[in-house]
Structure 1
Amino acid sequence: MAANLTQEDILDLPAEAPPPGVVPNFENPSRILSNAEAALHGLYALSTVMFFIKMYTQLRISRKVEREDYVLILTWLLYTGAFEPVGTLLVRTPYGAHQWEITLRVFSRYLFIQYCEMVIWVIAMLLVKITILLQYLRIFTTPGVRDFTFWASHALLYLNIAYYIAFTFIQMFPCNPRQMFWDKTITDGHCMDIFAANVSGAVVCLVSDLAILVLPQRILFKLNVRTSRKIGLCILFAIGIFACTTSTVRLYYNIRLWQTQTDISHQLGNISIWGTAQLPTGFLIICLPSVPKLLNHLRSKPWAVRLETSLRSLSRQSTKKAPQMRTNILTIGGGGNNNLKQTVVSDVEFRELMATNTDLGSLTSFADSHRG
């Protein structure tokens, strides 16, 4: 009877036999994350905000575009023009549904979108790591000095480039013919063990994330700054801990999929969730160091000074005023306090006065940066 089925009939069959006692629900298959699309767009929005903070800081404050900034721009364009649209298509399928609750037709479409997303993700992660390592080379190495950080950063840079380029081709050509990866009606051909390849890729991703996390810590602890500021810098770069966590969880699900090779649609959904979270984490690691510089720049603006002064005035008015002590000053010619003229200069007027003089303005900026 099965021999009389057409290809269309086969595509309407369940993609996998259900476990004993389980009745498939084709009308409303279960999903891993019900609000996956909102999460996807939220992570993209966070990455975009951080990207524009970084670029505004470089263009308007530092007035210099570094070489890693060009790679970051390319990464964001890839994220915006490819990963985000393909990810939207993916979450609008039965994302992470159990394979026995979808038809072979839906499963083939799901695999094709996963295939596209994985290729884009590998390229995007390579660009993220290139950006981070180029930033390390600029910040933590001295021109002309070939120390440990210099060689370690270069080694990580070239190893990541070599591996991720090779891994991109593995993801692009897992089968011969290539369509055999997502079209399960094709039987004339062969595929590599793509699940084993994904495990190796997840291992390399985790190891490189750990190396990128640890590399700057030894330098940060040697900086000649206050302990509190040193700890703050380490915490800033320790955001990479979350990247390592996502890599670890992603490796776990890749190993499970490699071992079982069943319920592929559900397990690929788990892998995709944690892989998607790695891109915004990379943007945070790259862009967060620009935030303090932006905040200091905004605080020097007249409108920010006026806002700060207004908030302080409101705070003072809301608290009970303490009794003020009067000081009598005896002046030549008599009259005491009646002849005393007091001039009060507000914070706004003081900072605007400082801004009109280059030397005084520089001194004020220096004092503000070392205050508290």
Structure 2
Amino acid sequence: MSDLDALMNGPALPPPPGVVPNLVHPGNKNGLALFVLIFCSVISTICVLVRAYGRFVLLKRFQLEDALIISAFGVFCGAAWSAFSIIDTPGYYVHMWEVRLKTLIPMTYLIFVMGNTYVVVLMLLKVAMLAEWARILVARASRTSSVFWWSCMVMISLQVLGCIGIVIALNLQCIPHAASWDFTITDAKCFPLYNLQLGSGIIYLATDVIMFFMPHHLIWSLRMSWQKKAGVSVVFGLGLLACVAAAFRLHVTINYGHASDATYNIGDLIFWVMAEMACGFIITCAPTIPKILQETGVVRKIKKSLGITKTGRTDQSSGGYGRDTTKKGGSSSMLSSVNRGPLPATTISNAYYKLDEDGVALGDLNGSGSESTEYLRHEESKTAAPVAGSGPRGQIIRTTRIAIDEEVAEVEYARSREAGGNRTQWPM
């Protein structure tokens, strides 16, 4: 065996005093690595599938951001392949003195591939996110005059240019190119990679923080209830996950750059790189979840199981607005419950509409006489809701005024009782 072969098969770093290196079966934490890598990969895959179902199946739409997210997931698969391959070459949390020197070449190549794919994945996800924000939060007619829209365009440009610059720098780290991972090429010219890693980490953290605060001012200026604003803000607030992941990634990058035991410390860096990409998929795909829950009826089923209608009231606390009127003895319960409070005709009409919209069957109006006439005597007149027609939208096509005389109603009711009728059906 030549001296070079002996050197390449020996430990990559001299062991500490008194330590005998195990080059055949070194100690590792591959079990932890498998858990983290599988978890991040599964989360990312589920997010993409959920968004694909919501966009393609339910909404039947395919837009630019969808193509960007699918492309990002394809590149992410390359990064995941590199991360999983390191389990065999040489393993996670393996000390350098228990790694053969020749093993560093394929390991460095896998890290090189992962560095390139990581940059591209984050760029595609952030561009998709910003493009979607610019589309849904700014009206098309006012885009060119919107500060938020122009902010999104500037951030998109910075993301694209930054990605191109970092990828070019990574691939020009050494000349010839193969020397970026093959240290046996002795006549190569290289620059320190740590400065590039540190600079990219700072840039990613700064852009994540900016993007976290960008949409919230616009959201809270929208014309909607504060509850809806808070819900939308929470969805967009998921960007905090990316900020946390980017901060930890920057921290471990600094530690990795100053560590002499590189093969042991690379595990933390890879884990946070995978976590940052997974957070990117969560943030870009989470806004489709409410649409899926709405279309599949999950929200409505939960509300019905809790006795909650769209008015936000329950059976026991609201005087019966959300009550199921199909039960025995409750044929006119909707009418009697509405009569418990002085509601205008439009509110009552809305109550019927919301009750029917929630899937609760309307009760039989042929209730007992006392209940049915109780509601009719509640007001002397009603103004019916406008009848839908083919006229211009927003105009009243026809109105119907129904006037009911209490005395006439009572006489008619008495006659029906004398005739032996126990139930009175009133035309509604």
TM bucket, shorter chain = 0.7 to 0.9
Could you say if the C-alpha distance between residues 54 and 11 of structure 1 is closer, same or farther in structure 2, counting changes exceeding 3 Å?
A: same
Tell me how far 1:57 sits from its aligned partner: 1.4
CA–CA distance in 2 between the matches of 1:154 and 1:96? 42
Q: Which amino acid aligns with 2:128?
A: T
The percent of aligned pairs where both chains have the same amino acid is: 22
Tell me how far 1:348 sits from its aligned partner: 10
CA–CA distance in 2 between the matches of 1:261 and 1:188? 26
Tell me how far 1:249 sits from its aligned partner: 1.4
Pairwise mapping of residues 88-107 of structure 1 onto structure 2 (< 5 A)?
88-93=84-89, 94-107=91-104
In the alignment, what sits opposite 1:143?
A: 140
Task: Give the 3-state SS of the residue equivalent to 2:359 in structure 1.
Answer: helix
In the alignment, what sits opposite 2:285?
A: 287
Could you say if the C-alpha distance between residues 273 and 343 of structure 1 is closer, same or farther in structure 2, counting changes exceeding 3 Å?
A: same
Contact in 2 for aligned 1:32/1:270 (Cα 8 Å): no
Query: Is 1:231 aligned to residue 248 of structure 2?
Result: no
Tell me how far 1:195 sits from its aligned partner: 0.9
CA–CA distance in 2 between the matches of 1:12 and 1:351? 73
CA–CA distance in 2 between the matches of 1:228 and 1:20? 64
Question: Which ranges of structure 1 fall in alignment gaps of 5 or more residues?
Answer: 314-339, 361-372
In the alignment, what sits opposite 1:370?
A: none
CA–CA distance in 1 between the matches of 2:233 and 2:20? 52
Deviations 1:47-81 (A, max 9, x none): 1221122122112322222211111111122223x
**CA RMSD across the alignment:** 3.1
Deviations 1:166-223 (A, max 9, x none): 1012222321122223223222212111111111111111111111111111112222
Matching residue within 12, 15, 38 for 1:15 = 12
Could you say if the C-alpha distance between residues 291 and 20 of structure 1 is closer, same or farther in structure 2, counting changes exceeding 3 Å?
A: same
CA–CA distance in 2 between the matches of 1:228 and 1:58? 25
CA–CA distance in 1 between the matches of 2:135 and 2:303? 35
CA–CA distance in 2 between the matches of 1:131 and 1:267? 32
In the alignment, what sits opposite 2:273?
A: 275
Bigger RCO (CA 8 Å, 6+ sep): 1
Pairwise mapping of residues 207-222 of structure 1 onto structure 2 (< 5 A)?
207-222=206-221
In the alignment, what sits opposite 1:351?
A: 359
CA–CA distance in 2 between the matches of 1:73 and 1:353? 43
Deviations 1:257-313 (A, max 9, x none): 33x252122222211110111111111111111101100111189xx86x987x679
Matching residue within 78, 83, 87 for 1:87 = 83
Contact in 1 for aligned 2:58/2:295 (Cα 8 Å): yes
CA–CA distance in 1 between the matches of 2:24 and 2:10? 14
Task: Give the 3-state SS of the residue equivalent to 2:296 in structure 1.
Answer: helix
Could you say if the C-alpha distance between residues 349 and 238 of structure 1 is closer, same or farther in structure 2, counting changes exceeding 3 Å?
A: closer
Pairwise mapping of residues 62-73 of structure 1 onto structure 2 (< 5 A)?
62-73=59-70
Q: Which amino acid aligns with 1:266?
A: Y
Q: Given the two structures, how large is their TM-score scaled by the length of structure 2? A: 0.68
Task: Give the 3-state SS of the residue equivalent to 1:223 in structure 2.
Answer: coil
In the alignment, what sits opposite 1:55?
A: 52
Task: Give the 3-state SS of the residue equivalent to 2:141 in structure 1.
Answer: coil
Paired positions, count: 321
In the alignment, what sits opposite 2:260?
A: 262
CA–CA distance in 2 between the matches of 1:341 and 1:162? 68
Comparing 262-271 with 22-31, which one deviates more in the overlay?
22-31
Q: Given the two structures, how large is their TM-score scaled by the length of structure 1? A: 0.77
CA–CA distance in 2 between the matches of 1:274 and 1:300? 34
Q: Which amino acid aligns with 1:141?
A: V
In the alignment, what sits opposite 1:242?
A: 241
CA–CA distance in 1 between the matches of 2:275 and 2:138? 30
Tell me how far 1:32 sits from its aligned partner: 5.2
Contact in 1 for aligned 2:36/2:271 (Cα 8 Å): no
Structure with higher Rg: it is 2
Question: Whose helix proportion is higher, 1 or 2?
Answer: 1
Q: Which amino acid aligns with 1:92?
A: D
Contact in 1 for aligned 2:37/2:84 (Cα 8 Å): yes
Q: Which amino acid aligns with 1:69?
A: D
Question: Which ranges of structure 2 fall in alignment gaps of 5 or more residues?
Answer: 308-328, 335-354, 363-386, 389-428
Deviations 1:13-59 (A, max 9, x none): 11112234443332443435633123212222221221122122112
